[in-house]
Structure 1
Amino acid sequence: MLAMLINKYPEIMNIIKRRLKIYVAEAERRYNSSAGSYWYRFLRPNDPAIGGTDKVYTATYTNTAEENIFASAATITVPVSNAYVIFGWYNDADFGVGGYLKVEKQGVEKSLIHARLPYQNANPKYLYLDFDHVIVGWQQEILDPIAYNEFGADQICMCFPFMFRIASKSALNLE
């Protein structure tokens, strides 16, 4: 997906990079680190907050609003001296007329979109990015991405928040 953004939509990726550099500078200021010691990368399944197992991405989507997108991890607690940045959602499934994708931060709803926004998006396909409502979780904050499947049937799909991790370069294995 990142390759798609870099190759097909470089202007979108450039906006993301510019925004991430601002959050990197803020993380260095917050965590008293020297300039240039922090960087970013796309969130991966082996990142500490997610749990690092395949089960994370094989959640069964039911028609209950409490079903979390990362069923095995439930919520994501941002590790110490890290930040997680959510720009939007990737969703390639139809969750029905009442389906939604939302993100709660510290128990407060920060983002709520209709699940068909990314599903019906054509450029880029299945990806919804909202640069006006970027959600940043700083250390020890709790992020809870929730996908509600109003359709009533189990689905096999890819649905996840478009999320980046900001941490020291050594924590990201970049040094």
Structure 2
Amino acid sequence: MKYRQQVIDSRFRTALAVFPDQPNFLALFRDPDTVSDYEDSEDITILPTRIVPSWRSKVFTSIVRAIDVATIQLAQSEKKTAIMRWLSRIDERNLRENEESYERIPSGLPFDAYDRDFIEKTSTLEHRQLRIVKKNQDFTLDEALEHLKLVTGSSFGLYM
């Protein structure tokens, strides 16, 4: 995974730029297991495939993609092409059953970062071990996604 650390670092820097006042949200982008979601091909001319972790919720996956959009928008003009290249994915797939046993599941994330099926399939004991608790959040992932859509979407309306 040649560019894995670059992708992780760029996603964190972008999250920091977009959410400077949300330290708990920023923490989601520090752990490589929360935001690294692709596999390289043996053939370097083929773009990597996005692999959606089985534990990760749809809203959190959408946030990761929206952070990539923001990363490209924030990039300097001369770097946009390179950044687009290492953030591009040829395809997307869910983790296969035989891969799930090797999957690293991050602990201590907000409840809404975890997929509902994952929550239902794991025991209370496993939830404790992973520090998964449902509690009120100051800033939900849905709010984060809405904010990302607002700042990365068209600003044409601002000038009307």
User: What TM-score, normalized to structure 1?
Assistant: 0.24
User: What TM-score, normalized to structure 2?
Assistant: 0.25
Q: Give the structure with the larger strand fraction.
A: 1
Q: Give the structure with the larger helix fraction.
A: 2
